[in-house]
Amino acid sequence: MPKHSGPGRRATISFSPEAEQQIRALEPAELERVDRALVTISIDPTVGTPMASAPVLREFQKDGARIIYFASVLGHVVVVAYVEG
């Protein structure tokens, strides 16, 4: 999946029910780290590394945040499955 073309174009981020629960449990500093990681993913959904056990899933780590996600075929929608702050 290529980066989105055009300035300001980003993928839409949505969350699985489990990821929503994890987000609600984060402290403010953890939430800030996760937010920065999500911005990076929304700009380029291919930034994560495919997981060996499930190649459709990608893992991205930044500043102590860990996100496991998958993207739609064209990368317009990213669904977050797991979050660590």
C-alpha pair distances (Å), 5 with each of 32, 43, 71: 26, 10, 16
**Residue 3: pLDDT over 60:** no
pLDDT grade for 4, boundaries at 50, 70 and 90: very low
Residue type, 35: D
Tokens standing for residue 7 = 């300035």
pLDDT, tens digit (0-9, with 9 covering 90-100), for 66-75: 999 998 877 7
Tokens standing for residue 75 = 């990368």
pLDDT at 7 (0 to 100): 57
pLDDT, tens digit (0-9, with 9 covering 90-100), for 38-59: 999 999 999 999 999 998 999 9
pLDDT, tens digit (0-9, with 9 covering 90-100), for 30-39: 999 999 999 9
Topology of domain 18-84, CATH: YaeB-like fold (3.30.2310)
Question: What pTM, to 2 d.p., does this model score?
Answer: 0.84
CA 81 to chain centre: 8
